[in-house]
Chains A and B, each alone.
Chain A
Amino acid sequence: MDTTQGTPAMMDDTLTLPRAADGAPRIDCRNIKVFYGEAQAIHDVSMTFPDRAVTALIGPSGCGKSTFLRCLNRMNDTIENCRVEGEILMDGENINDEDVDPVLLRSRVGMVFQKPNPFPKSIYDNIAYGPRIHGLANGREDLDAIVEKSLRRAGLWEEVKDRLTAPGTSLSGGQQQRLCIARAIAVQPEVILMDEPCSALDPIATARIEELIDELRNRYCIVIVTHSMQQAARVSQRTAFFHLGNLVEMGDTNQIFTNPREKRTEDYITGRFG
C-alpha cells in the first residue's frame, strides 16, 4: 500500500485480484455450442483466454463474436430462447453450472457494450451503483475512493472530477464509453469483455480507448470484439478468427496477421471477404 499518499483512493490493493497462476489461462472454454431456438450460432468452439492480456475476436459480422462473448458472463441467459452448451472454466469452476449465480459471475466479469450506455444518472452514481449493490464499500468515504480510483483507471478522472453530479449522458461519446469502462472496473472484475467498444466513436476517442485498453491489460484479462483488424493488431496479444459460428484460427496476434495458417483467415485479413 502506498502510505506516502495516504488517500483512500490510492488503496490499490483493494482492487487487485488474485491472478491466475503464471501462464495458466484465466478462462478455459470447452466445446461451446450456442443455439437461438433451433438455429445454432456457435459450433463447438474451444479456446482459452490468458490472464493479463488482450484477446481479440475478429470475423465478419454475424459470425457469432458477440454471442460467444456473451457466454463468458452468461448474458445469453437474459436472451429468450438462447441456449448454451459446453464448459467454461474460470478458476477451475464451470460457470455454466446450475449453482453458479450469474449475478455474482457478472461482478467478476465486467462488460462494455458497443454503444456507450451509461445509466441516466449522475457520473458518480454510474460508478457507485455496482459497488453499492455488491456491498463493496463501507461508508461514503470508501465509496468516494472507489469512484475516484475507477475513474482514474479509466482515464476519466481529470475530465470529470469537478462535475461528478452531472448526468453521465451529458458526456461526449468517448467519455461515456470510458465511463462505462470505469463502471465495469468499479466492481473489481477479473475479466473485462468489450463488444466493439469503439465502433460508435470518432478516431480520436477510439485512440484514447485503445490506449486505455493497453493500460488495463496489466491488471485484467480482456476480451475485445472488433470488426477493425487494425484495432485488433494494435491492442491485442492474441487473436481468434471466427467464421460462420466456427473458430477458424486462434494464435498470437502477430502470427495471425503476418502468417495465418488458414486460407479463410488470410482471405479475411487481406480484405477478400467480410
Chain B
Amino acid sequence: MTDTVRTSAPSAAAAKHLKRRRAADGRFRYYGLTAIFVALGALAVLVLTIGTQAFSAATYNVVKYEVTLDPAVIAPEGANRPADISRNVEGFYSLVRDELLTTFPEAEADRVSRRELSDFVTRLAVLPTARLVANNPELVGNTITLTAPLNDDLDLYLKGQGVKERKIKAGTVSSVQGEEDGTFRLAGAEAFEAVVTGLAVASVDRAEDAGQPDVLLTAGVSTGRLTDIDAGSARMELLTGRAQDFAQARPTARIIVSAESERTISDRQIAWVLALKEMGRVDRVPRWTLLTNSDSTYPELAGGLAAIVGSLLTMLITALVAMPIGILAAVYLEEFAPRNRLTEFIEVNINNLAAVPSIVFGLLGAALYINFLGMPRSAPLVGGLVLALMTFPVVIIASRAALKAVPPSVRSGALAVGASQMQTVFHHVVPLAAPGILTGAILGMARALGETAPLLLIGMVAFVGDVPRSPTDESTVMPVLIFSWSNNAERAWEPLTSAMIVILLAFLLVMNGLVVFLRRKYERRW
C-alpha cells in the first residue's frame, strides 16, 4: 500500500473553501503591506520637512568686521575692570555700528537708513566679543577681526528664503551719466531687454495694486534701484557704491517680487548685504550657538543650551525618583507581595496611573509641589517630580514584565541551595531582569523627555535666558522651548524650531539606541 500525497481538494465544496481561504490570506498580506507603506510614507514626509528646515538652520551667516578696540570706548576710565568690560554692550556695539557706517557712509544721510544699517547686527550679538575682551584684557587697543551673526531677516534673504526675487543677467552697460536730481542714466544696446521681459513675467505674480516691482542692479559692491526701464536704457538711483562700477560692466538685475512694504528688509539693506557679501565679509558657518547659546528674543542669537541643561536636570530628578521607586515597587509586588485583594487593587491602580493623561500630572504637580509644599515654580526639581509621577507606573509595569520573564527554575534553583528569598531575588532574578528593567526605565524616561503639557502648568514655559545651575533654578526644557519657538511670529523661528526638534530627536535616538544596545548585549537565553 502506498500513501498518496493529497495535492488537490477532495470535493468541489472543499476546493471553494480552500480558494476563499487563500484569497483571505492574500488580502491580509496586502492590507499589512499597505499599512506599512502608509506609515513609512508619513515618516518620510516628517523627516523630510523637519530635516530640510533644520538643515537650513544648521548654518547661518555671520558678518566679519575689523575694529580697533579703543580703550576710550570699551574700557573708559572708571569702568575698565573685566566685569565692566564684559557688560559694556553699548561700547562694543558702537564699534560695530561705526565700522559699518564707515563702510557704507551713505547711511549717514538720514535716521532711517542709519537704523537700517545698524539693524545688521543686534546689540546683544556683541556680548561674546565683550566677554572675550574682558577675559583677555591685553587685546584692548589692538585691531582685531571679529564676527557677529547677521540679523535673521538678512540671513534668511541670503539663504534665499525671506524675499521672493528673480535674478537676471543684464547686457553690457555702455554709458553712465549723472543727472541733475542725483540719479544716473544707464544706457547700452539692449542692455535691459531681459529685465523688461522678466518684469512682465513677474507682474503676473503680483497683486493688481502693488505697482511695479523694485528692480535692483548690482555691479561688484555697488547696487542701485532702476526706474524707467526700457530695452536700451534705465534710470538708476544709487543705493550703495559708485556709479562708475556699472560702466562697461554686465551687472546683475534682481526683480524683487515682494513689495518693499511686505518685506522685513529694505532695498538699501539688500544692497548693503550684497556689497558685504561681494567684499567677502559674509560667511555661512555652522550654527554652534544653537547648542551653546540660551534662549533669546533674537532668532540669530537664540540657542537651546538652557533648555538642554534644563531637560538634563529634570531627567536627573525624574530618574532619581522614578527609577528606585518604580523598580523597588515592581520587585516587591512581583517577588514578595502576597496575592490578595489589596495587591490586586494596587496593581489595577498602577495600570490606571499609567493611562492618566500627562496634563493631569501637571495640575497635580502645580497643586501639590508648588502651592502646597511651596517648591519654586518653573524649576527642574518640580518638573522632574511631576514627570517622575508620570514615569514610575511605566517603570513598574516594564520592570514587572521583565521580572516575570525570568524563568521560575532560576528561583527554585537558588532557593534549593539555601538562598533566602531576598538573596534569590537580588542575586539572581533582578540581575537577569536588569536589561528589561533598564529598557523599561529608559523608555519611560524618553517619554518624559518629550513631555510638554504638564510642564506648561508648572511654569516651565517662562522665558529663560540663563543656563540653570541647580534643580531649583528657573528653567525650561527642550520640548517646551520648541513649543515656545513655534509660537513666535517671525519667519526665522520656523527653521530654528525644526533644528531644536532634531536636537530633541537626537537625544531620544540616543536613549533608544541605548535600549537596543542593552538588549543586544545582555539578552540571555535560558
Q: Residues of A with Cβ closer than 8 Å to B?
A: 73, 75, 78, 80, 103-107, 110-111, 113, 115, 117-120, 129-130, 133-134, 169, 180, 183-184, 186-187
Contacts and interface: CB of A to CB of B under 8 A. Distances in A.
Interface in B384-424: 407, 409-421, 423
A129 B427 contact: yes
A113 B410 CA distance: 11
Nearest to B420: A103
Nearest to B409: A117
B525 interface: yes
B415 A134 contact: no
Contacts of B526: 117, 120, 169
B415 A130 contact: no
B432 A106 contact: no
A133 B416 contact: no
Contacts of A180: 413
A106 B415 CA distance: 7
Given A78-B412, A113-B413, A129-B427, A120 B418 contact: no
A75 B412 contact: yes
B413 A103 contact: no
B418 A119 contact: no
B339 interface: yes
A214 B524 CA distance: 35
Contacts of B417: 106-107, 110, 129-130, 133, 183-184, 186-187
Interface string B509-526: 000000000000000111
A147 to B, nearest CB: 13
Contacts of B428: 119
A169 B407 CA distance: 14
A134 B427 CA distance: 14
A111 B432 CA distance: 22
Q: Which of B412, B415, B418, B419 is packed against the most chain A CB atoms within 10 Å?
A: B418
A119 B423 CA distance: 13
Contact of A106 (B407, B410, B411, B416): B416
Nearest to A106: B418
Contacts of A134: 418
Contacts of B414: 119, 129
A169 to B, nearest CB: 6
Nearest to B525: A169
Q: A-side binding surface: helix, strand, loop or mixed?
A: helix
29 contacts: A75-B412, A75-B415, A78-B411, A78-B412, A80-B339, A103-B418, A103-B420, A105-B418, A106-B418, A107-B418, A110-B417, A113-B409, A113-B412, A113-B413, A117-B409, A117-B410, A117-B412, A119-B410, A119-B413, A120-B526, A129-B417, A129-B427, A133-B427, A169-B526, A180-B413, A183-B417, A184-B416, A187-B417, A187-B418
Contacts of B423: 133
A117 B428 CA distance: 12
Given A120-B526, A133-B423, A169-B526, A115 B415 contact: no
Contacts of A130: 417-419
Contact of B413 (A73, A117, A133, A186): A117
A129 to B, nearest CB: 7
A187 B412 CA distance: 16
Nearest to B424: A78
Interface in B333-350: 338-339
Contacts of A117: 407, 409-410, 412-413, 526
B419 A110 contact: no
A119 B409 CA distance: 9
Contacts of B413: 113, 117-119, 180, 183
Contacts of B411: 78
A212 to B, nearest CB: 18
Given A80-B339, A129-B427, A169-B525, A115 B409 contact: yes
Interface in B318-336: none
Given A133-B423, A169-B526, A120 B415 contact: no
Contact of B416 (A111, A115, A169): A111
Contacts of A169: 525-526
Contacts of B412: 75, 78, 111, 113, 117
B279 to A, nearest CB: 69
Contacts of A115: 409
Q: Which of A75, A106, A183 is packed against the most chain B CB atoms within 10 Å?
A: A106
B416 A120 contact: no
Contacts of A187: 417-418
Given A110-B416, A113-B416, A120-B526, 17 more contacts: A75-B412, A80-B339, A103-B420, A104-B418, A106-B415, A107-B417, A111-B412, A113-B412, A115-B409, A119-B413, A120-B432, A129-B414, A129-B427, A130-B418, A133-B418, A183-B413, A187-B418
Q: Which of A73, A117, A169, A180 is packed against the most chain B CB atoms within 10 Å?
A: A117
A115 B410 CA distance: 11
A129 B526 CA distance: 18
A119 B414 CA distance: 8
Interface in B203-259: none
A183 B415 CA distance: 12
A186 B417 CA distance: 9
Given A117-B410, A119-B410, A120-B410, A133 B419 contact: yes
Nearest to A105: B418
B402 to A, nearest CB: 14
A78 B428 CA distance: 16
A121 to B, nearest CB: 9
A180 B414 CA distance: 11
Nearest to B413: A117
Contacts of B415: 75, 78, 106
A195 to B, nearest CB: 10
A129 B407 CA distance: 18
A254 to B, nearest CB: 31
